[in-house]
Every structure is written in C-alpha cells, then in structure tokens.
A = this chain, B = another copy of it.
Amino acid sequence: MSLPLAPGSTESRVAPSAPDAQDRPGGQVRMEDVARIAGVSPITVSRALSKPDMVSPRSREAVARAIAATGYVRNLVAGSLASQKTHVVAAVVPTFANPVFAATLVSMEAALQAKGFHLMLGQSGATPQTQHALISTFLARRPDGFFLHGNRCAPETRRMLVQAGIPIVEGANLRDDPIDMLVSFSNFDAAKALTRHLIDRGYRRIGFASPPWRHNDRARARRRGYIAALADAGLAVSERRIVETPLGFREGGEALRALLERDKRLDACFLAGDVLAAGALFECHRSGRRVPDDMGIAGFDDQDIASATSPQITTVHVPRQEIGRIAAEMILARIDGRADVDRRVDVGFDIRVRQST
C-alpha cells in the first residue's frame, strides 16, 4: 500500500532507523509509522486515539491524516496487555438458541458497544462441567467484566470467578448468594403469582410443565412457586400433575396430552415457557378443547407468540431487555470505579392476563 501524503503534510522523517511499513511483510502499519508520518511521537498517536482531549487539535489532525493515509488499524491486543484493560465483557448463556437469552444479549451488546466495549459470547450447555470449562478459558482472555445467565455455579467455578477480581453480574434468577452482582427477578414469586391467578380464575385441577429441573434452578424455582400457590390455597399438590419436557411447540402439545392422560379432569395447565404454552394451545385447537372454558392455558416470559395466538396467552412478562441493559450499566459503572453501584436489582415481573385463562 502506498502512502499518499496530503500536500503540505507535517511529515518529518527524523529517524528512519525502523523499516517502513511497506518493507514489512503483510504491510501492517504500526503506531510508530503513523507517528513518524504525523511528525509526532507514538504516545501522542496513542493519546489522540484514546484520550483526544489531552492532545492539541494540531497534533490530532496530523494523526488523523496519517491514519487515513496509511489505513492504520490499531492493535488492541497490544494495548490491552499494556493497559491491563481489554474493554471486553464476557457473557455466558446456556444457549444462543433460546430467544429469552437473546433478548437480554441484544440490549447488553448495544449498551457495551456504545461505550467501546465488546462482547465475548459463549454457550455453557446445561451441565456444571461444561460451564466450568468455558468460564475457565474465558477468564484467560482477561475480560474486564463477566455476565452469567444460567444456573448457580459450582463452588469451584464460583471461586475462580471471584479470584478474577472483575465485576460479575448474574441475570438468571433472584438468588440469595450472588457471586458479586445480580439483576433479575424472582422465578419463584412469578410462578406463584401466575398460579395464584389461575386459582382466582376458578381453575382447581392445574397441571404444570417445565424444562427438566435437574440442572436448572430457575425451573426448580418455578416449580416450587407453583406448588406454594396451590398449598396456600389449600389445593392438593400431586406429582402426577407435574411433567418435565424439552422446550418446543410439539413438546408443549405432548406435555398437555400426557397430563390429560393422568388426569382427565385437568382444567388448566401452567407451562413454564410460552412456546410450550402455545404448543398446548394448538393441541387444544386440534382436540376440540375450548380455551379458556374447557382448559386454561398459561405461559411464561411473554414472548411474541404469547400475544399472537388466538386466544392470546396469559403469561408472566419479564423485562429481558432491561436485564441486559442494567447488567451492562452495572459492569461499566464498576469498571469506572464508581462506588455507588447497586449490587442487587430486582427488575420485577408482571402477570399479563389475556384470553387463555
């Protein structure tokens, strides 16, 4: 690549000791080259890029011209090593495929990008082992902050994260003992409130379906919330009215069928996931059950599908975008050394009563 200098540029090749960019294979331009062409020292280039206020307009412009002329792309790997700041936030979610996590990441990435931070994203899978392995390699990249969505970490994972000494935000559930910071809502309270709503509507034989809770403490919390609401109302709790199922439309229909086989008189079903709920609703359409008269259907998350079906589905609305935005703000605030940072934010939830109950 040639270096078409603007006429009258402030070039001053004082010390041509180092080879020019053209001489090096790959043609990678370094800060030193830019500095020489701009007639300033490398550190001034560095400052013109990172702290423009510290540099005179004159130098700033010379640097800008030199960068434009050379097509210089700065090397943030070197910068990160020198400054001990990567401007990277790591985020680990169970999977990208679940739109519920995606909604959080959308707003988090946008907030980070606006401040010059980037997102390093990984899928932890469902087990503590895969989660630990992933977090461990992420930490080696020295992110300035960490966001976690998913289960409570294993003790050794937790220890490793604490040891890293960076701000950490968990976003999956309002837990008692966050590793560091927390922004979420109570899955227990939400499930309990929704179940309570079903009871208030007059439903008495209420089934519950959710993803497997073995490695999923949010699913467990929702299940406990469902049970607590029944117990509070003096209704019988039966394991026979509870099923585990993978997420999916078809799976929601199958879950409902399975519950109906065990109890033909089931009059409502709480499916802890809108996609499951929509699947159950479609199953009702097919089998000629009227919703909400013959069968009440309720979901969780308030995804788009919940308000698109007819009847529309009663569900728990959770501000997923808020979680991402606030998580980014918390991390950035702590990186900035602000001390007034909340360590625990409850974003709440609300029950969206629609036509399916």
Contact = CB atoms under 8 A, between A and B. Distances in A.
Interface of A: 1, 26-27, 71, 73-78, 80-81, 86, 88, 95-97, 99, 102-103, 105-106, 109-110, 113, 116, 118-123, 134, 136-142, 160, 163-165, 248-250, 275, 278-279, 282, 285-286, 304-305, 307-310
A20 to B, nearest CB: 16
A355 to B, nearest CB: 12
Given A140-B73, A305-B249, A165 B81 contact: no
B118 A250 contact: no
Contacts of A165: 26
A64 B80 CA distance: 27
B99 A106 contact: no
Given A76-B140, A77-B141, A99-B99, 13 more contacts: A71-B163, A76-B141, A77-B80, A81-B81, A95-B106, A96-B109, A97-B103, A102-B102, A249-B305, A249-B307, A279-B308, A282-B309, A305-B305
Chain copies in complex: 2
Contact of A118 (B106, B138, B308, B309): B138
Given A275-B304, A308-B282, A86 B77 contact: yes
A136 B78 CA distance: 17
A86 B80 CA distance: 12
A118 B122 contact: yes
Nearest to A142: B77
15 contacts: A71-B163, A73-B136, A73-B139, A76-B140, A77-B77, A77-B86, A96-B96, A96-B102, A97-B99, A113-B122, A116-B137, A119-B120, A119-B122, A249-B307, A249-B308
Nearest to A29: B163
A285 B81 CA distance: 60
Contacts of A95: 106
A249 B303 CA distance: 11
A308 B278 contact: yes
